[in-house]
A and B are shown apart, each in its own frame.
Chain A
C-alpha cells in the first residue's frame, strides 16, 4: 500500500532529519455532519513509529487533535546515506500503513 505516507530522510553533519506527511482524515469525533446533524465518528491515528535500520528512533502516541493530513518532523543522531527508514502508523479503527525509504 504505502500510498498514505510521504517521507523524506536526509543526513547532514551526522544528524538525520526525517520529515513526513500522512494523508488521514484525523476525525475528532466531536464534529457533526451539518446536514444530518449526526456526529461523525472519531477516526484518527493513534500510533506512529519510525525505525532506522530496524531500530526504533521515534514512537509517537497521537490524539485526535493532531491536524488532518498530519505532518511530522524529527531528528536523530547517526544514520548514513542508504540506511533504511521505516515509518508506520496505526489508527483507532485498526487501519495502518507503512513505508520504507532510504536516507539521502
Chain B
C-alpha cells in the first residue's frame, strides 16, 4: 500500500514535469514571437516535430499545395543548396525552413511584417539526401510543404 502511494506521487510528479515541458515546447512559456531573442530551443532541437513546435508553437502542420519550394532535385554540393520558398496565401507571418536530415533540422525562421511578400530565398547546407521542409504560418495556422533533394556530397562535417 505504502509503495503504491509513493508510486502515485511519483507519477503525478512526472506528469506535472512533462506538462511544463510541453508548455515550453509549445512556446507558451518562451514567446517565440519576441524578435530580439534568438530561438535557441528551436534551433537546437534535434527532431523535426520538436523544432517545428519550438519555432512555430505547434508541431502539427497541414500540408498545402500553395507553398512552392524551389530547390534542386540533385545537389552536387550539399554545402550550398539554393532554396526558395513561396507561399500563395495571404497573411503570412513567418516562414520556417527545415532540413530533415541535418543534426539540427531548423535552418531559418523568416518573420514577415505586413507588406513583405511570402517569397524568400537563401542557401542551406545539407548533410545528406532528404527533404527540405517549409512551414508557413498564416492567419494563426500552420501549413507545410516538403521537397526531396538528393545530395551527392554532404555539406556538414568533413
Asked if residues B116 and A73 are in contact (CB atoms below 8 Å), the reply is no
A100 at the interface (CB under 8 A from B): no
Asked if residues B123 and A66 are in contact (CB atoms below 8 Å), the reply is yes
Render B117-158 as a binary contact track against A, CB cut-off 8 A, 1 for contact: 101111111100000000000000000000000000001111
A46 at the interface (CB under 8 A from B): yes
Asked if residues A57 and B119 are in contact (CB atoms below 8 Å), the reply is no
Contacts of B43 in A (CB 8 A): 61, 63-64
Asked if residues B99 and A65 are in contact (CB atoms below 8 Å), the reply is yes
Q: Which parts of B94-131 form the interface with A (CB within 8 Å)?
A: 99, 102-104, 106-113, 115-117, 119-126
Asked if residues A60 and B109 are in contact (CB atoms below 8 Å), the reply is yes
A78 to B116, CA, bound (A): 9
| A67-B125, A68-B79 known; A61 vs B120 contact (CB < 8 Å) | no
Asked if residues A67 and B80 are in contact (CB atoms below 8 Å), the reply is yes
| A31-B157, A74-B120 known; A63 vs B107 contact (CB < 8 Å) | yes
Q: In chain A, what residue has the closest Cβ to B126?
A: A65
Measured as residues with beta carbon below 8 angstroms from the partner, the interface class of chain A is 20 to 34
Render B67-84 as a binary contact track against A, CB cut-off 8 A, 1 for contact: 000000000000111101
Contacts of A2 in B (CB 8 A): none
Contacts of A76 in B (CB 8 A): 115-117
Given contacts A59-B35, A73-B122, A77-B115, 15 further A-B contacts (CB under 8 A): A30-B103, A31-B158, A47-B38, A58-B110, A58-B120, A61-B109, A63-B106, A66-B108, A67-B122, A67-B124, A67-B155, A68-B79, A68-B80, A70-B122, A77-B116
Asked if residues B121 and A71 are in contact (CB atoms below 8 Å), the reply is yes
Contacts of A84 in B (CB 8 A): none
Asked if residues A66 and B121 are in contact (CB atoms below 8 Å), the reply is no
A98 at the interface (CB under 8 A from B): no
A55 to B115, CA, bound (A): 11
Asked if residues B110 and A74 are in contact (CB atoms below 8 Å), the reply is yes
Contacts of A72 in B (CB 8 A): 120-122
